[in-house]
Structure 1
Amino acid sequence: MKIRTGYFAYLAIASCLGIAVSRSDTHWGPLSLLIVFFLWIYLQDKNPLRLLLLTLLFSAGFYGYMNMIESQNVSVHTGSETRISGTITTSIHIDGNKASFEMKSNKKESMVVEYYLQEQQEITLLESLEIGELCNWQGALKIPQPATNPHAFDYKNYLYEQKKYWIFSLDRLPESCAPGENISIFKGLQKYRDKGIKTIDEHMDPVVASFIISLIFGERRYLDHMVLEAYQKLGLIHLLAISGLHVGIITAAAFYTGIRLGLTRQSVNILLILLLPLYVVLAGGAPSVMRAATMTGVALVLLLFKKKILSIDTIGLACIFVLLLNPYYMYHIGFQLSFSVSMALILTSRKISTVNNGLLQIFYVSFIAQVASLPLLLFHFYQFSIWSPFLNIIYVPFFSLFVLPGAFLLFFAMIFYPGLLPLLVPFFSFPLQLLNSLAVWFASIPFGTLVFGKPFIGMMGLLVSFTALFFYLWEKKRLSAASAMLVGCLCFQWYIPYTNPYGKVVVVDIGQGDAIFIRLPFNKGTYLIDTGGAFPFPKEAWKERKREYNSGIDVLLPFLKAEGVRKLDKLILSHGDYDHIGNVASLWGHVKVSEVVVPLGFGGSELEEEILLEADYRGAKIQTAVPNIGWDVDTASFLYLHPAKAYENKNEGSIALYAILGDRSWLFTGDMEGEGEREVLLRYPNITVDVLKAGHHGSKTSTGQAFVERLQPDIAIISAGRNNRFGHPHQEVLDRLERSEAMVYRTDRQGAIIFEFTHRGGTFSTVLP
């Protein structure tokens, strides 16, 4: 049966939808999209029955294929093993006092390995280990951490989709390792890749080396974090991924070299088809690399057999091939962005080719790429940069004509003519650093980034549908109607919080600290009580990492952006301890703060003074919490109960905030301890609450017996870090709450605690069961 041109793109979409239906919890969302897709084919195609049958077969086939893969995706380890023999499969990454890599156990299962160095001398031993070496390792198997906050990255699921189920935490390094047996071509290529990365890192300027490693070997961990974050924020991250341009340059260079060596065109094509999979391994095997290499391979095979199909079918075939290799790739953002943008550019190639002006053509390409990627960017990163289309006009030619060719030139010079490097590197380094500084500067401009929040599933379906409709109507020369529909959809996403009749209280899992977000129905008030934060203990220089984990940047800020929070009406800082205010700095410039509320006596430490000065500089009002002062919004009300004076002990001087939310009474107590609790009971002898945020993370010096007996809470919430060094929450507190028959929610066990409400009432839920 001869398949008509254009079918493979439809079959690729059907394959993706079949996988989505298979992995969906309810099936209804992806199934609805699949039905809409079938309806679209029926209405648009002149002879739809054949295409409908094929798409149905492909969607059903990949549905079954995904189910089969899922049924086999289980661990062969029990989790009780402490000694495992395994072969190193990736390079060992050493960042400060932490080393991480991957290995394949003697049961042929891949796992992540981590080790915290005890002495600096251990770095030498780790650096001597190579890919393919077989070692006897000793440690403990740990289950990877799942997402513990709404919208957060799910590391456990990320590893599961790579068929990895454990993190093996080493107790010590092995005394000796032996070369692995039967090193495969794949392992050999990985060793060459690792060697190439280390050689570049050792012999070149760090900035230049990081970009060469990223552009040739697809490894971004050497890039400066600020630069990487700026490129991501500005929609320039695609320039740092190995894509069709890279594969095109390498293929063209290899083809030209083969012809110059006297090979026939047919021989060169066959050689290139055989070498492309090897390049995928050398380039790190990311989905974007696989997409580009597969498309090139399909084009070469068709050229070899003198067959012609449309470019859209080439990308469809590439998509199906990649999904057959690993259907989990569909959930990789690199796969999603690579195929969606490539498909959009192919579908609009005629429009682009009609533009004669080079700069305008680059702008068109950038604009099309941004529109095509917009739903995915909002879903994964919750924001969009207005500078992106304009900066791409500068950065795309710069990377295409200078950075990428220069990276290959310097790499080959390093191999064949190392003496030229001191002469060549400065010419490459100066303009690169200049453009990097420009990117960081643009990324720092607050109004340049529009935070839309994470679209819910139904909204995501609308965004994807309207984006596809945008390109369809543009092709039909109805650009104004297409633009109006897409802009209308984006406006709806922007104003969704103002149409939502539900409010929410989220006790964020911020580790050992407090961070509580409150949003009232219809977005009539947004408040944040504390920000969490970890005290930066001094370390030896060799133990310091390139980028330390920061719960403000890595947890709190992404959560607020996903919620679409662009402004906080009040930032209430209960007291001056680092685990309550240490992350305030991560909010400045990202979230507008209208008012900062502090307790009496706040400002005595260097950190407190910095916060007050920065708040004043950014135009935020600074208010002191005074007992019996509060505010009302519709049926919600808030009242400060404590402190009435400054306390020498900061914990005792924590702000105690009483609130009515969702027809329940709440008491937020910060780290208030026994003395503060007695003051509250003396001032408000008849107080009772439905929900108590237990003080000081469940410390035995807080949430005293008299306090619990007077308040009689139905629910108690404890915000504490997992395995914290203080032993919070203490058993005495848990016993007191149990005797009072209060239901206890704990962030260290259940992740974030969420209360969604209207004026009539609400319901509690947790991220972890």
Structure 2
Amino acid sequence: MIAFFVFLSLITGCIVLKSPMLGLFFLAVFCILCFRKLKNRSHVLWFLLIAAIPPIFLNPSELGGSVATIDEFIIVDYKHYRDETHYIVSSGSGTFELFTEESDMEEVGLRCTGPFDVAEIKRQRNFLKQDEASRYAVNNILGRIYLEELEEERCEGGDKDFQMWLAHFRNTYMQKVLEYTEYDYKYDLLTLTVGNKSYIESEFFEALQRLGIYHLFVISGTHVAFITAVLYFILRKMRLTSGSVKLLLIASLLIFYMMNIYSPSVFRAVFMAIMLILASFFRKKPYLTVISLSALLQMSLNPYIVFHAGFQLSYITTYFILLSRTFIHGNSPLTQLIQITLISEVATFLIILIQFNEISISGIIMNLIFVPFFSLVIFPMVIIFQLLLLLPYIPAVDHLYHFVFSWSKEVIYFLADMIKHRYSIKNLNAPIYIVVAVLSYMMAADICRLNFFKVFLKGAVFITLIFTANITDRDDFTFTMIDVGQGDAFLIEDHQSDITVLIDTGGQFTFGGRESLLAERTVLPYLKERGIDDIDLLVLSHMDIDHVGEVEDILEAKNVRNLLVNSKDPKFVEWSQSHIEGKYNGNILASKDIKTLEAGHILMENLTLDDGLEGADSNDSSIVLKVSLGDYDFLMTGDVTEAVERKLLESGEDLTADVLKLAHHGSATSSSNGFIEEVSPAHVLVSAGADNRYGHPHEEVIDRVSHTNILSTAEAGMVQLNIRDETMCIISRLDPFLNQCTKKELITQLP
């Protein structure tokens, strides 16, 4: 019990670090629980001191940058990503990821001498919860090294240690599986045996995530529990003693872990299983203490593992089930399955909301369907396949495996596309999370008592609360300049009408020949953390890649109802043929046919020149919009040059605006003095990459707008402008000195 309270103390301290109000709530609950169980005030004080440790010593956002170069490294393993495989390398400083341009993988044990530069860990420039430093910290990685190739004269083979031999054995096993059959089920088997997800199509993983059964297709506690149960059944049939069976189970689990030695999820699951088996040797069976000790050991090896979603989900689920076992024990197997599935779901509500900003409306039902199916069909087939590798090839068995896995995928795809299973939920305030925590506990208690009517009522309250909070906002509008590096992406939210407009998507960046999934690190996670699944209007100002490079990812991930483009853009025909024809089913609006647009309370006036310029390039074909958000006007200028600005001045249109987006990222080819004077902005926006190679924004342009409030992503990162009635509040990610609130009447008095 003491170990359990020590663990709770540390977890409570971590919650205080991340969310003080939520942490104080759990601290109060913890103190009450501790005093009721231990009946000793001094113990409570000691545990409070322990809870103070994480806020004092842990801050993952400040990690990184401690190692700039390393003199040598040894390849110790491989890291498998969605589309490619890289190296895990070790040096005297620690563990790193190594990325190269070579397609052929080098042997584990290769030693290379440097020096080698370690890429700088970038700070989070957007209002997002995750950052590189935190990701590295929870995975015990110090950084990344990027090389074009491993030069032969600087590298030589070396002796392999035990872990390297394990990595070599695992990769030999993987090759044997790949060579066994021509059917694609071999990739699924690798995912389910050694956690290699690099061969699995991203669409299939997205389908698994939508159904809420992703945990069944990655190595987790579910797999370990099944392996343990099957081995226990087989060994008992061999009439071995109970003690011998348990020792053989421990040995088998250790072998399984060695095949996945660098997987934190496998370590958690295997270690928990081994500790529970060891606990069974004792008469009192101190399961709670054993699980707490396993968590404390992992935290001692890597304190930042506590921020890992997998760690949180594993232990919250395990604790809830352990604490409920008295109520579950004695029920029928079917009832127990339903209870455990429901308890596992409600136990993770809070973590899913905080870590993933989503809620599932079908996860419980899907798990009730697929957990038995995987347990009774898929997992046994995976185990049997290991024996098949030792036997001669049997065509009939190969076809059977192909049929079962193919049919399973078809069913998963069908169910995933049938309805909308998951909804994005914005970052909620602490009081809402507190209510969610209380409801989760009450629902779990009702499940234990088999009072499903009360579970249904509380579930309805939970759903109503979450969706109401998701569409409620204190502001009328939020205008966000997303930091996408050297590119443009602007998000406009009308909170009164629940309308969303996105202007441009940012671009693509490459390392060598590989594209970096920029949208997955900036625009898409930000949309999710804002609770946005539907985009009512996506405006593509022009067809340069730094403005439209992530269109396909946005269209695939979100429901985009309308797309506004300039069909006269010289790049439009080629772009549309390769990016949207046959892929996009929404409405395509041509700017030449649109003069004004209303989206909820968002008013847009299209100022794009109908006749344009003779021989205009894509930049000068940019859509120019005057966007009115309540009392505030924004002029969005794309990448137009001074030539188009002169045409706009000659058009006689009202160009005055409170906020001007400087054209072409603040380039000297735009933003002439005459244009700036006519617009007369109080604020200017500059979307440019930090330390970009073009020198944007150019100094002469900044001089022209020096009398305004300059908001640049290159300096301030993401910038939010929140509008409520006549007040506009500015919040920047990196420069707190820019944060201010002003009123419309004060702005109009500026020169």
Q: Same fold (TM over 0.5)?
A: yes
Answer whether contact 1:15 1:320 (CA < 8 A) is retained: no
- Say if 1:555 and 1:422 are closer, same or farther in 2 by CA, change over 3 A: farther
CA contact (8 A) 1:721 1:747 kept: yes
The AA in structure 1 aligned to 2:75 is I
Q: 1:718 aligns with which of 661, 686, 697?
A: 686
Contact 1:596 1:615 in 2 (8 A): no
Aligned AA for 1:240? F
Moved more, 744-753 or 251-260: 251-260
1:84 matches 2:60:
no
Structure 2: how far apart are the matches of 1:573 and 1:701?
21
| Amino acid of the structure 2 residue aligned with 1:113 | L
CA positional deviation for 1:713: 3.6
* Larger deviation, residues 484-493 vs 7-16: 7-16
Name which of structure 1's ranges 521-530 and 426-435 shifts more when overlaid on structure 2: 521-530
* 1:204 positional shift: 4.2
CA contact (8 A) 2:342 2:447 kept: no
The Cα of 1:258 is off from its aligned counterpart by 6.8
Alignment of 1:442-521 (within 5 A): 442-445=415-418, 447-475=420-448, 479-502=452-475, 503-521=477-495
Contact kept, 8 Å, 1:529 with 1:571, in 2: the verdict is yes
CA contact (8 A) 1:531 1:580 kept: yes
Structure 1 residue 158: deviation in Å?
0.7
Q: Return closer, same or farther for 1:499/1:74 CA change in 2, 3 Å cut-off.
A: closer
Q: Residue 238 of structure 1 aligns with which residue?
A: 215
Alpha-carbon displacement from aligned partner over 1:272-331 (angstroms, at most 9, x marks no partner): 54664554342345444334323322333233343334x555544433343333332221
* Matching residue's letter, 1:496: A
CA distance in 1, matches of 2:149, 2:719: 37
**1:61 aligned partner:** 50
| Post-superposition CA distance 1:99-158 (Å, at most 9, x none) | 6322222x33222222224xxxxx44xx2321x332214542211334333336422321
Name the Cα RMSD after superposition.
3.9
Code of the aligned partner of 1:20? I
Cα deviation 1:257-284 (Å, max 9, x = unaligned): 7778897543554465466455434234
Please say if residues 138 and 171 of structure 1, whose CA atoms lie closer than 8 Å, have aligned partners that are also in contact. Answer: no
Aligned equivalent of 1:370, options 328, 345, 366: 345
Q: Decide whether the 8 Å contact of 1:500 with 1:523 is kept in 2.
A: no
Offset, 1:736: 1.9
Do the aligned residues in 2 keep the contact of 1:698 with 1:730 (CA within 8 Å)? yes
CA distance in 2, matches of 1:632, 1:20: 39
Give the Cα separation in 2 of the matches to 1:361 and 1:529. 51
Give secondary structure in 2 for the equivalent of 1:447: coil
**Structure 2 CA distance for aligned equivalents of residues 425 and 62 of structure 1:** 55
Q: 1:527 and 1:253, CA in 2 relative to 1: closer, same or farther beyond 3 A?
A: closer
Q: For residues 217 and 62 of structure 1, do their structure 2 counterparts lie closer, same or farther at Cα, with a shift above 3 Å needed?
A: farther
1:66-465 pair list within 5 angstroms: 67=56, 78-79=67-68, 81=69, 84-91=71-78, 100-105=86-91, 107-117=92-102, 123-124=103-104, 127-130=105-108, 132-151=109-128, 153-175=130-152, 177-180=155-158, 184-205=161-182, 207-251=184-228, 265-270=242-247, 272-273=249-250, 276-277=253-254, 279-309=256-286, 311-312=287-288, 314-349=290-325, 356=332, 358=334, 362-414=337-389, 416-417=390-391, 419-420=392-393, 422-445=395-418, 447-465=420-438
Contact 1:230–1:439 (CA under 8 A) maintained in structure 2: yes
In structure 2, what is the equivalent of residue 761 of structure 1? 727
Q: Which deviates more from structure 2 when the two are superposed, residues 312-321 or residues 222-231?
A: 312-321
The 2-side partners of 1:369 and 1:307 are apart by: 25
Kindly tell me: are residues 246 and 402 of structure 1, through their superposed partners in 2, closer, same or farther at Cα, counting changes over 3 Å?
Answer: same
Please say if residues 510 and 721 of structure 1, whose CA atoms lie closer than 8 Å, have aligned partners that are also in contact: yes
Asked if structure 1 preserves the Cα contact closer than 8 Å seen for 2:565 and 2:591, the reply is yes
Deviation at 1:86, TM superposition (A): 1.3
Work out whether 1:735 is the aligned partner of 2:710.
no
Structure 1 residues 458, 222: closer, same or farther in 2, change over 3 A?
farther
CA distance in 2, matches of 1:449, 1:99: 30
Q: Using the alignment, how far apart are the partners of 2:658 and 2:487 within structure 1?
A: 22
Mapped pair 1:707 → 2:684 = no
Write the letter of the residue equivalent to 2:315: F
Q: Which amino acid aligns with 2:99?
A: E
- How has the CA–CA distance of structure 1 residues 53 and 396 changed in structure 2, closer, same or farther, with 3 Å as cutoff? farther
Aligned counterparts of 1:632 and 1:586: Cα–Cα separation in 2: 23
| Counterpart in the other structure of 1:669 | 637
Question: Residue 642 of structure 1 aligns to a residue in which SS?
Answer: coil
AA matched with 1:746: S
Moved more, 597-606 or 225-234: 597-606
In the alignment, does 2:26 pair up with 1:33? yes
Question: Structure 1 residue 574 and structure 2 residue 541: aligned?
Answer: yes
- Other structure's SS at 1:504 match: strand
| % identical equivalent positions | 23
Aligned pair in 2 of structure 1 residues 522, 684: CA closer, same or farther (>3 Å)?
same
Alignment of 1:13-24 (within 5 A): 13-21=8-16, 23-24=17-18
* Corresponding letter in the other structure for 1:61: I
Q: In the alignment, is the contact (CA less than 8 A) between 2:3 and 2:292 conserved in 1?
A: yes
Tell me: CA distance 1:640–1:259, structure 2 relative to 1, closer, same or farther (3 Å). closer
1:743-758 equivalences under 5 Å are 743-748=709-714, 750-758=716-724
In the aligned structure 1, how far is the partner of 2:48 from the partner of 2:398? 51
Contact 1:291 1:339 in 2 (8 A): no
Tell me how far apart the structure 1 counterparts of residues 529 and 54 of structure 2 sit (CA, whole Å): 33
TM-score by length of 1: 0.83
Residue 451 of structure 1 and its aligned partner are, at CA, apart by 3.0
1:602-617, aligned counterparts within 5 Å? 605-608=573-576, 617=585
1:159 deviation in Å?
A: 0.5
Matched residues in 2 for 1:363 and 1:528: separation?
43
> Which segments of 5 or more consecutive residues in structure 1 lack a partner in the other structure?
118-122
Q: Does the 8 Å CA contact 1:152/1:555 hold for their aligned counterparts?
A: no
Cα deviations across residues 153-174 of structure 1 (Å, max 9, x unaligned)? 4223210334433322225413
Cα deviations across residues 443-496 of structure 1 (Å, max 9, x unaligned)? 234533333334344433332232112212444566544543443233232123
In the alignment, the residues of structure 2 paired with residue 609 and residue 40 of structure 1 have an alpha-carbon distance, to the nearest angstrom, of 63
Q: Which residue of 2 aligns with 1:682?
A: 650
How far does residue 607 in structure 1 lie from its aligned partner after superposition? 3.8
Tell me the distance in 1 between the aligned counterparts of 2:487 and 2:209.
Answer: 29
Residues 629 and 300 (structure 1 numbering): CA distance in 2 closer, same or farther, change over 3 Å?
closer
CA distance in 1, matches of 2:527, 2:65: 39
Q: Which residue of 1 aligns with 2:738?
A: none
Q: CA deviation at 1:236?
A: 0.5
Q: Say how many residue pairs are matched.
A: 729
**TM-score, length-scaled by structure 2:** 0.84
Does the 8 Å contact 2:555/2:584 carry over to 1?
A: no
Structure 1 residues 150 and 478, CA, compared in 2 at 3 Å: closer, same or farther?
A: same
Quick check: 2:473–2:495 contact (8 Å CA) kept in 1?
yes
The unaligned stretches of length 5 or more in structure 2 are: 736-751
C-alpha change, 1:723 and 1:441, in structure 2 (3 Å) is farther
